[in-house]
Structure 1
């Protein structure tokens, strides 16, 4: 009580001097007011220290330790060294690039110089001939010519060609006679060669061009005869069975070039050999001249067997090759030409061009709504004959495409061909046109030369058709391997496995050709065939994936 009285009466006791003398041990303080005051004082000191600590941390927050500083400094020096090396290398590459650019310009100038010299000398000097053309006239064809001309100079090639011509003339001089001896009139003899033995037939020494033209006339007459037969059958059907049949049904048949497919069975199984005999009788109106032309045709086909078209014709006549092989080739060519004409008309629409989907629909899905609309837009456009095209400069432009359009048309028409096959067709087309410009007059690709030989483009197309057929046969072979004798049912199963979309008529045609039967029906008993014989027959058949 006395102490409290002293504090109240003497406030100077609360001064710093007085408080500094008080021990930190507050338990010795008995006065609660003094204790309270001392606690407040200590709290202020604590806050000051805390404030000092916060300021210190904020001040030294961005200070890096020296070891980290040294590591970063070493890293910077290393990066600087690498940068200097890359900079020097870049400068070296830049100088090298400038050197190459200058050398390229020098090479371009040198190339232009040589090109100008070549253009100047082209009209002055004799051009190097296309020696591959020789393969069409020598015996043995392109394969034998490659062997003869391997690593030979132009002078040596001329000597080889002269030697071949001399040898051929000598052979003809020795072997060719003025008359042929008749081989008989048995049924095993071809119809146009049937003549009693000991009969002498004049040798006309028919040349390649005349042989090709005669074969072309025979095919034309055969096709015309088949079309007339179809027309008569349809007329009878219209008269007796189907009054609703109208002329639009006939139109596609009569307008399609080389359309006969399997009409041999419809025309009393008349073969090409039978037709040749009848054609000669009809054209020359003399049995003697008809037989004479038959023997000369036989002789010419033997001498010009290196010609693919002549060899095909003779193989069909002798029954070694199915006639549909020729018709399939001609039909493929005709369909391609018609497709290119249609695509040209599509490309020619400037203001209202059809999209790519519509072009594809016209070819792949002709009955789809998109194709119907697209065809309706083409209905006002008229088709022109090849004769009109040759006589008209205006129509000449109607059969010209750019390279891009021609490639697009090929890709649309042949969606299953590889890019290399499409490119092969394109390059052969440019070869036929001698790479003249950036456009393609595709009508020229479908013309024949004086000896009725196809262009390089059509020859490539037929080669690809044959390659696809051989691949088709090879697939059948892989399925039938292991069976020594093949029955009709096994053959049909193999066909359906690789070609499920084939129709019944086509399958029957395969069976009739491969197994050498006529008018096949499912209940017919047919002798099994050896696998090798079956494959050989199939290779000479017009078979393809549908």
Structure 2
């Protein structure tokens, strides 16, 4: 067979056969194109190729024979032996040359794709099929089957790629876990080795102790043997001594018997004595039986008297218990009646509550007040935040009173009568100085400081109204009455500033100076004690020192109240501070508004007074109160109160002197507690801070 082909760089091949992506039949997928290789006609017989190798001359036909017969095997072996002697056909050389060139080009291009390396073999196989028409159907079927198989393998490989990735990830995780297990086992092995070494040391130590104990046991055994020999010797000696003693006793008995025999006694006398003894025994036995029969069920008189005493005591106890039981029955009946009354009272109160709920008015819309102060709406919103209705009314009255006071040029004089406070006694109009809150509070501090100093020197308490007008006259002369009226009215309208408004209440007699001092200056004693406890004089104490001083100054406060004061002080610390700077806790602004710490002390003081007054109210009931009833209630609530304090409370409650308490008429409960509310009334234990 000869091949004629024009020179070219590469052979032209048909399209690459590919498997169908839809998985359908691939039998008719491939379209074979006639290759552009001029191949001379093949000299062959019908159905047999004789191109190469030629294993023998004149073999131009295929004889029928049995496949894989022995003759066929010999022929094949003979052909293989002669193959090296026969030259290759040009057609085969051309195909091999083409295949070699294509593979070299792929190798030079560094192509490692197996699909591209398979393509030249496909092309060669296509040429082979086109040239051998007789075997084309079979070869085409073989090729298609291989292509289908390859496509199927590709699909399976593609489907297994996720599994491969998952297998890789699982393998990595497993490797990581194995590595962690190895590391953990390494730590465990180290710990076990250390434990093993310790145990070996312990075993060696125990072995040494065992050896020492064995030595001691050997020594003790030797000593035991010596002691045992000593014991045996002593035991034998003792037995010998006992035998000697017994022998000596026997000899003594024999000697005594011999002496008695020698003396001799009268047998008749002995017989009479024996008979008399027997008679006495019989008589005694009869007497004993008679006494048992007569007095067997009789108890001793002493036991009988004790039982009589116990019986009498039990009877008295039963009588007392019976009386107590009767009394409890009566109390139970009275409690049942009282319970019925309470239930009826509860039902009536519930009805009243329902009536009040139906007839009550809604809470005022405080947002309307913003329209009254349009230029200061932000301040009004800040003041109203979190306030109750009563507090909002105080805020509104304070704001309105401040505006009215600023617009007023003169105050009308209140006259010079006895019912007018001393600092307001004046006829005619008084000029309004329009004092600021800062000026009023500064003047109050000066007046109160001088008053406390003078009262301490004189040893008695003076009237704040009288002292105030005298102080203003010394300082301002003729303008003192203007200062007095301006300060009085400023304090009167400051309902939201409790300290300044309390000065007004003291001036008009609605509050005692003792209560004002305890409420707004009681913390000064705490500041003094803290300063005394500060050995470093730097104005700071540790938290434990601060707690101890709080407990010392306020002994009646509970642990929760002390902790609340401590937490408030700690909350004002700067970041990083450990000690408490106590002086900053007692600061006040220019208008008298106290710090959080002082405000908390004042609130706790007010809560103690309210609790005390509430306990008194519960003891007194709802009827008018007599002085002796109030006295009994105060003693019941505060048993530790002294007589002087008790008398002062009673005289201030009934607004009379101590001598007139016995003839004082009963006072209404509302008026009584209104009088007590203006006095510094508290439990005795709560006065330590003063």
User: Structure 2-normalised TM-score?
Assistant: 0.40
Give the match's secondary structure for 1:201.
strand
Provide the C-alpha distance between the structure 1 equivalents of 2:594 and 2:676, rounded to a whole number of angstroms. Answer: 25
Shift of 1:400: 0.9
* 2:229 alignment counterpart: none
* 1:501 alignment counterpart: 640
Give the match's secondary structure for 1:427.
helix
* 1:146 alignment counterpart: 386
Unaligned runs of 5+ in 2: 1-375, 389-394, 685-690
Distance 1:492 1:201, change over 3 A: same
Distance 1:138 1:541, change over 3 A: farther
Of the three residues 336, 339, 343, the one matched with 2:526 is: 336
Shift of 1:330: 5.4
* 2:671 alignment counterpart: 533
* 1:273 alignment counterpart: 465
Residue 213 (str. 1) matches residue 442 (str. 2):
yes
Distance 1:139 1:190, change over 3 A: farther
Shift of 1:420: 2.5
Distance 1:328 1:140, change over 3 A: farther
Residue 308 (str. 1) matches residue 498 (str. 2):
yes
What are the superposed Cα offsets for residues 346-400 of structure 1, whole Å, 9 maximum, x if unpaired? xx7xxxxxxxxxxxxxxxxxxxxxxxxxxxxxxxxxxxxxxxxxxxxxx3x2x21
* 1:65 alignment counterpart: none
Give the match's secondary structure for 1:450.
coil
Question: Is the CA contact (8 Å cut-off) linking 2:520 and 2:602 kept in structure 1?
Answer: no
Provide the C-alpha distance between the structure 2 equivalents of 1:475 and 1:428, rounded to a whole number of angstroms. Answer: 29
* 1:176 alignment counterpart: 407
Distance 1:276 1:139, change over 3 A: farther
Residue 407 (str. 1) matches residue 547 (str. 2):
yes
Give the match's secondary structure for 1:428.
helix
Shift of 1:218: 1.7
Provide the C-alpha distance between the structure 1 equivalents of 2:387 and 2:586, rounded to a whole number of angstroms. Answer: 31
* 1:298 alignment counterpart: 488
Residue 284 (str. 1) matches residue 423 (str. 2):
no
What are the superposed Cα offsets for residues 160-217 of structure 1, whole Å, 9 maximum, x if unpaired? xxxx99x959972796122222232222222111112xx2221111111111111112
What are the superposed Cα offsets for residues 3-42 of structure 1, whole Å, 9 maximum, x if unpaired? xxxxxxxxxxxxxxxxxxxxxxxxxxxxxxxxxxxxxxxx
Give the match's secondary structure for 2:416.
coil
Question: Is the CA contact (8 Å cut-off) linking 1:322 and 1:513 kept in structure 2?
Answer: no
Provide the C-alpha distance between the structure 2 equivalents of 1:169 and 1:467, rounded to a whole number of angstroms. Answer: 30
Pick the structure with greater CA Rg: 2
Give the match's secondary structure for 2:485.
helix
Of the three residues 471, 474, 485, the one matched with 2:611 is: 471
Residue 490 (str. 1) matches residue 629 (str. 2):
yes
Shift of 1:501: 1.7
Question: Is the CA contact (8 Å cut-off) linking 1:340 and 1:409 kept in structure 2?
Answer: yes
Provide the C-alpha distance between the structure 2 equivalents of 1:175 and 1:344, rounded to a whole number of angstroms. Answer: 46
Residue 189 (str. 1) matches residue 327 (str. 2):
no
Shift of 1:295: 1.0
How large is the Cα RMSD of the aligned pairs?
Answer: 3.4
Shift of 1:324: 0.8
Provide the C-alpha distance between the structure 2 equivalents of 1:526 and 1:141, rounded to a whole number of angstroms. Answer: 50
Residues 255-404 of structure 1: pairs in structure 2 closer than 5 A: 263-264=460-461, 270-286=462-478, 289-329=479-519, 332-345=522-535, 395=537, 397=538, 399-404=539-544
Question: Is the CA contact (8 Å cut-off) linking 1:428 and 1:457 kept in structure 2?
Answer: yes
Question: Is the CA contact (8 Å cut-off) linking 1:403 and 1:439 kept in structure 2?
Answer: yes
Deviates more, 1:494-503 or 1:445-454: 445-454
Give the match's secondary structure for 2:386.
helix
Give the match's secondary structure for 1:440.
coil
Question: Is the CA contact (8 Å cut-off) linking 2:413 and 2:430 kept in structure 1?
Answer: yes
Unaligned runs of 5+ in 1: 1-134, 149-163, 231-262, 265-269, 349-394
Question: Is the CA contact (8 Å cut-off) linking 1:432 and 1:455 kept in structure 2?
Answer: no
Distance 1:171 1:522, change over 3 A: closer
What are the superposed Cα offsets for residues 519-546 of structure 1, whole Å, 9 maximum, x if unpaired? x237752232111111222122101111
Give the match's secondary structure for 1:460.
helix
Provide the C-alpha distance between the structure 2 equivalents of 1:170 and 1:443, rounded to a whole number of angstroms. Answer: 35
Provide the C-alpha distance between the structure 1 equivalents of 2:450 and 2:480, rounded to a whole number of angstroms. Answer: 15
Give the match's secondary structure for 2:430.
strand
Provide the C-alpha distance between the structure 2 equivalents of 1:515 and 1:275, rounded to a whole number of angstroms. Answer: 27
Shift of 1:147: 5.0
Residue 429 (str. 1) matches residue 619 (str. 2):
no
Question: Is the CA contact (8 Å cut-off) linking 2:405 and 2:434 kept in structure 1?
Answer: no
* 1:68 alignment counterpart: none
Distance 1:171 1:409, change over 3 A: closer
User: Structure 1-normalised TM-score?
Assistant: 0.50
Distance 1:471 1:147, change over 3 A: closer
Question: Is the CA contact (8 Å cut-off) linking 1:222 and 1:275 kept in structure 2?
Answer: yes
* 1:202 alignment counterpart: 431
Give the match's secondary structure for 1:180.
strand
Deviates more, 1:494-503 or 1:172-181: 172-181
- Matched positions, count: 303
* 2:588 alignment counterpart: 448
Distance 1:226 1:443, change over 3 A: same
Give the match's secondary structure for 2:420.
coil
What are the superposed Cα offsets for residues 461-500 of structure 1, whole Å, 9 maximum, x if unpaired? 1110110011111111111014x21111111111111112
Question: Is the CA contact (8 Å cut-off) linking 2:415 and 2:425 kept in structure 1?
Answer: yes
Higher RCO (C-alpha under 8 Å, 6+ residues apart): 1
